[in-house]
Amino acid sequence: MSQLTEDLNILATDPMPSPEEIKAAIPLSAQAEQTVLQGRRAVQEILDRRDARLFVIVGPCSIHDPLAGLDYARRLKALADKVSDTLLLVMRVYFEKPRTSTGWKGFINDPHMNDSFCIDEGMARARRFLLEVNELGLPAGTEALDPIAPQYYGDLITWSAIGARTAESQTHREMSSGLSTPVGFKNATDGDLDVAINAIVSASHPHSFLGINAAGQSAILRTRGNRYGHVVLRGGGGRPNYDTVSVSLAEQALQRAKLAPNLVIDCSHGNSWKRPEVQPLVLKDIVSQICNGNRSIVGAMLESFIEGGNQPIPENLSQLRYGCSVTDACIDWETTEAAILAAAQELRNVLPKRERPEKS
- C-alpha pair distances (Å), 278 with each of 62, 65, 120, 232: 19, 25, 38, 18
Pairing of the two strands 208-212 and 87-92: unpaired
Domain 19-353 has CATH 1.10.10.10: no
Taking the C-alpha atoms of residue 56 and residue 158, their distance in angstroms, rounded to an integer, is 12
Among residues 23, 43, 19, the alpha carbon closest in space to that of 32 is found at 23
Among residues 147, 188, 142, the alpha carbon closest in space to that of 168 is found at 188
Taking the C-alpha atoms of residue 81 and residue 222, their distance in angstroms, rounded to an integer, is 38
CB of 57 closer than 8 Å to CB of 302: yes
Taking the C-alpha atoms of residue 200 and residue 47, their distance in angstroms, rounded to an integer, is 14
Taking the C-alpha atoms of residue 284 and residue 188, their distance in angstroms, rounded to an integer, is 24
Question: Can you say how many angstroms the Cα of residue 268 is from the centroid of all Cα atoms in its chain?
Answer: 13
CB of 326 closer than 8 Å to CB of 311: yes
The residues, ordered by sequence, that sit 6+ positions from 162 with a Cβ below 8 Å of its Cβ are 143, 144, 172, 173, 176, 183, 184, 185, 186, 199
Q: Which residues pair with 310 in a beta bridge?
A: 325
Taking the C-alpha atoms of residue 273 and residue 56, their distance in angstroms, rounded to an integer, is 20
The residues, ordered by sequence, that sit 6+ positions from 15 with a Cβ below 8 Å of its Cβ are 120
- Say what the pLDDT of residue 293 is: 97
CB of 64 closer than 8 Å to CB of 107: yes
Q: How far apart are the first and last CA of the chain?
A: 62
Coil, helix or strand for 319? helix
The residues, ordered by sequence, that sit 6+ positions from 189 with a Cβ below 8 Å of its Cβ are 164, 165, 236, 237, 270
- pTM of the predicted protein model: 0.97
CB of 94 closer than 8 Å to CB of 61: yes
Among residues 136, 29, 32, 122, the alpha carbon closest in space to that of 79 is found at 136
What is the largest distance, in Å, between two alpha-carbon atoms of the chain?
Answer: 74
Instruction: Compute the radius of gyration of the chain from its Cα atoms.
Output: 20
Taking the C-alpha atoms of residue 343 and residue 50, their distance in angstroms, rounded to an integer, is 21
- Say what the pLDDT of residue 355 is: 85
| Phi and psi based region of residue 213 (left: phi greater than 0; alpha: psi -120 to 50; beta: remaining) | beta
Residue ranges of the chain whose pLDDT lies below 70: 1-2, 99-102, 359-360
CB-based burial of residue 334 (10 Å sphere; 0-12 exposed, 13-18 middle, 19+ buried)? exposed
Among residues 95, 92, 84, the alpha carbon closest in space to that of 119 is found at 95
The angle at the Cα of 74, spanning 70 to 80, to the nearest 5 degrees, equals 130
